[in-house]
Amino acid sequence: MVSPENIPLYPEKVPKHMDYPNIALYELMDVAVRDFPHRDALILETMSFDKIAKLTYKELGEQSDKFAAFLVSKGIKPKDKIAVFLPNMVEFVVAYYGILKAGAVVVSLNFQYPASELEGQLIQSEARGIVCADMISPATQPYEVCKKVRDEGKTSLEFIVVASVTQYLKGYKSVLGKKMGKISVKDPRDVYLYEIIRQYQAKDRPIIKVLPDDLAVLMFTGGTTGTPKAAMLTQGNLVSNVYQCSVWMYPPLERGSLVGIGSLPFYHSYGATTSMNLCMYFAGTLILMLDPRENKFTQILYLVSKYKVQLFNTVPTLYIALLNHPDLKKYDLSSLVTSSSGAAPLPLAVLREFEAVTGANLAEGYGLTETSPVTHIIPMAAPPRGEVPFKKEGSIGLPLPDTDVLILDLETGTKQLGIDEEGEIAIAGPQVFAGYYKKEKETSEVIRIIDGKRFFLTGDIGKYDKDFYFYITDRKKDMIDVGGFKAYPREIEEVLIAHPKIINAACIGVPHEKVGETVKIFVVPKQGSELTKTEILEYCQKKLVKYKQPHSEDFIEIRSELPLTQVGKVLRRALKEEERKIN
């Protein structure tokens, strides 16, 4: 077993064990409001809006208190589920923390989901309400999707709260936006979030008792099987992971003066913990981004330069895009202090170049939704008797404080392996989730008690070296990593097979120059059916979130048959081998 205490090169400035406070996640905000009421908490500056959205900590605290009071008025009780279906708007943070202040559970959803995916996750999570945005774009129309799902009557939805973009636009644009179909028209049954803020009182926020083992967030993941399941993240899981990450950052971040940027979506566990919640812990100013690709990545450079951003956590594809930006030298990025990269491998050359350009301390890390999410990070501080951090090519680094890691043999899953032996990575620590919501069988398959500790079987294959640095070497399953988002073949194949003209389908990951890996699908039409690639692509665009779709018709193949096992299962391995020979 690898634990912080038996790692000789563990960063000298990082404690190997910590005392975690017995608090609720929302208390991170309460403390920031108490200590820094007039400091800017959230700023959203986007070319899509005419006005800059901005809240101080006092305003953020009051608005989230009012939203909690609204939920109580709707009969929401502790442990009830409320979904957040938003991009990184000010309203996301207001709703997220307001739900927690009401004692309810946040159901965190990708706001780009089509109706079919949203409906399934609302049914599974039993959400009683949902908060969504009324903007309409070529990629998504969240409020329209919510109304459709609600009106079909298959979910437990009782109300919809609308975060309207109209308050950030000039008056005539708001009117034109609705007439031109760029802003959704509100159903009389629903309520705008800004109306809730006007009508409710912060003093009516409920007084609740929250324990570390109480459920805080449901976040959907394919886990190790690809079937969407709601990971149960407790108050203690999320608070402990914030504290673990906070002590790893080096140079140390200063409370009350930090400026961070939210380029990662907050509905994703990586963005929620390392951007939103970590900034709350430090009482920092969080610069929000609706889309980090805005204006071909120019907006993110502009924001980092303008607001003197210090904390920047994102994915490798974004670091690569910034370093290759034609106007990179026009922007001052010297304010950056610490940065992390996750969700996909980060080339050491990219890490070194980013550090040289910005002066920031950049480290690659690893984690999963089920671990809140961070478990490993490359050291940012130097080891004992060292002068600089020890960063290794291809490594995900060392385990965080209080995080124990095993490598288990792939044959039986019971034998603990040693240095440079590859097996399944298993993790124990305060950040390990409580299980999958109402899925005891699936939970039992990934949780194992070893040496008296509760380990999570990650499904990833890896190893550690003589210095106890860890490496991911393969995937136990066939998950496809599309720019840091996990696309699972089984889920995509089930959608394809539901098409009336398709009898069989398969999905694999193939290389893509922009996102690293993308989805390629193979379909077998029903006999006598006329099926085109255009028809299949349009079907995918309606039924699947963007990162699960083929990028273009070039990533679609129509075949008369697929390679099958003796029991009739598609041999994805054979399809992958074909692709390797072609490319």
Say which CATH number the domain at 485 has: 3.30.300.30
What distance in Å separates the CA atoms of residue 367 and residue 74, rounded to the nearest whole number? Answer: 36
> Is 111 within the bounds of a domain?
yes
User: Domain span at residue 204?
Assistant: 50-210
Q: How far apart are CA 166 and CA 429, in angstroms?
A: 44
Residue 567 has pLDDT above 60, yes or no: no
Closest Cα to residue 45, out of 296, 276, 291, 265? 291
pTM of the model: 0.88
Question: Which of the four pLDDT bands, split at 50, 70 and 90, describes residue 184?
Answer: very high
Looking at per-residue pLDDT, the higher value among 170 and 286 belongs to 286
Q: Is residue 323 part of a domain?
A: no
Domain C-terminal end among 210, 243, 261: 210
**Digit-coded pLDDT (tens) for 72-90:** 999 999 999 999 999 999 9
Residue 577, in any domain of the structure: yes
Question: Does any domain span residue 95?
Answer: yes
Hey, how many other C-beta atoms are within 10 angstroms of the C-beta on 500?
8
Q: Which residues share a beta bridge with 398?
A: 377
pLDDT tier at 475 (50, 70, 90 boundaries)? low
**571 lies in some domain:** yes
Give residue-wise pLDDT tens across range 516-560.
899 999 999 988 899 999 999 999 999 999 999 999 999 999 999
Domain's final residue, options 176, 192, 210: 210
Q: What is the DSSP code (8-state) at residue 135?
A: B
* Burial class of 39 by CB neighbour count within 10 A (0 to 12, 13 to 18, 19+): middle
Q: State the average pLDDT for the chain.
A: 93
pLDDT, tens digit (0-9, with 9 covering 90-100), for 377-413:
999 999 998 888 888 988 999 999 999 999 999 888 8
Tell which residue, 185, 170, 172, 98, has the closest CA to residue 136.
185
Q: Reply yes or no on whether the pLDDT at 568 is more than 80.
A: no
Q: Residue 474: is its pLDDT beyond 80? A: no
Last residue of a domain, one of 210, 228, 262: 210
Q: How far apart are CA 342 and CA 517, in angstroms?
A: 15
Flag whether 290 is in a domain.
Answer: no
CATH number reported for the structural domain that contains residue 165 in this entry = 3.40.50.980
Q: Is residue 287 part of a domain?
A: no
Residue 226 is predicted with a pLDDT of 63
Tell me whether residue 496 is in a domain: yes
Contact (CB, 8 A) for 450 and 360:
no
pLDDT at residue 181 tops 90:
no
Number of domain units in the chain: 2
